[in-house]
Every structure is written in C-alpha cells, then in structure tokens.
Structure 1
Amino acid sequence: MSRDAGLQPERTRLAWRRTLLALTVVMLLQLRPAFSGRGVDAALAGTAVAVWLAVLVAAWRRATGAGPRRPGHVAMPLAALGATALALLGVAHVLARVH
C-alpha cells in the first residue's frame, strides 16, 4: 500500500518559501543602516548578509522541493539558527545606534 502524501509536500515547500522570504526581508532591513557611513553598521550588515546566504543555500533545495526529505537534513536547524542570528544582529544594530 503506497502512502498518499496529499498536499503535505506542497505545504512544506510553501512554508520554506515563506521562511526564506521573511529572512530576506529582515536581512534587507538590516542593510539600511549600513549606508550611514559607520563601520560598525557596515560590519553588522555584512554579517547579516553572510548569515542570510548560509540559510539560503541550505534551504533553497527544500524550498523548491528538489532537496532531500530525510529528517536529519541541516536546513531546518540552520534556518532556526539563522533567524535567531538575524534577530540578534537587529538588536546589535539598535544598541549600536543608542550608544
């Protein structure tokens, strides 16, 4: 008896695409202060781009449905770590502006 996956694979692909879109928006928002001319803002923005690229590379195949579907895949933990890192970089941007 074969398993009927139904719409689950499509929902998974859409969830990955939404995750990547949200991380892209956050990364773009963190680029804005980089144009202020301050070195710390540029360094934080560069780090945000590097984190975003790492998550993008790891999750792109899952988001398009072409990647492996095994439970131990690195995309999910990396996406969680990337989202956390981007949030912390956002906090660092705010703190750099305050001081």
Structure 2
Amino acid sequence: MSATRDPGLQPERTRLAWRRTALAMTVVVLLAVRLALTGGPAGALPAALAVLGWVAVVTLCWRRSSTVGAAARGGRTLALVGLGTAGFALLGVLLVLRGV
C-alpha cells in the first residue's frame, strides 16, 4: 500500500482562492485611489497605505499560490494575509459608506 495521497483538485482550488483574494483587494485599492484622485489630499494617505498593503498581500498570495502542493505551510504568511484581508474589508466598507 502506498503512503502517497492524491490531492485531486485541491491545489487548483487553493490557487483560485488566492487569486480571488488578490482580485478583491485590487478592486478595493482601485476605489481608494479613485477617492484620492477626486477627494483631495485627505484620501491620499489611505490610498497610499492601501497600495502598499496591496503590494505586500499580492506578493504573499503569489508566493503562496505558486508553492501549493509543496511544503507551503508558512506560519506567518496566513496570519499576514488574514490581517491584510481584514484591513481591506474594513477599507472597502468605509469606501462604500462614503459613497465611492
């Protein structure tokens, strides 16, 4: 009996989940940048922070999705992406409430 397991479609589903996360964050960043461009200097700092956070999270998502199936069990990666996702969700809610 072989000790290897067949992952089936799990690696593909995981890659798609990381891509959806990155896509959702991209939309929030674009809305924040739009607010900064039309709302004056008050929106520049949140937009700049959103872009920096987006770059960090997309980099982590890309690294994480490209190592699916291998030893991709980094302890802090998931925590950082989770924190970034929560921050972007809050920013998205604030943008919606502001009417952007």
Q: Structure 2-normalised TM-score? A: 0.77
- The number of equivalent residue pairs is 96
Map 1:39-54; keep pairs closer than 5 Å.
39-54=41-56
Q: Structure 1-normalised TM-score? A: 0.78
Q: Which moved more, 1:2-11 or 1:33-42?
A: 33-42
Select 2:7's aligned residue among 5, 11, 23. 5
Q: Which residues of structure 1 form unaligned runs of 5+?
A: none
Q: Which moved more, 1:10-19 or 1:30-39?
A: 30-39
Q: Which residues of structure 2 form unaligned runs of 5+?
A: none
Q: Structure 1 residue 65: deviation in Å?
A: 3.9
Q: Structure 1 residue 92: deviation in Å?
A: 5.3
1:70 aligns with 2:54: no
Structure 1's 7 and 21: CA in aligned 2 closer, same or farther, altered over 3 A?
same
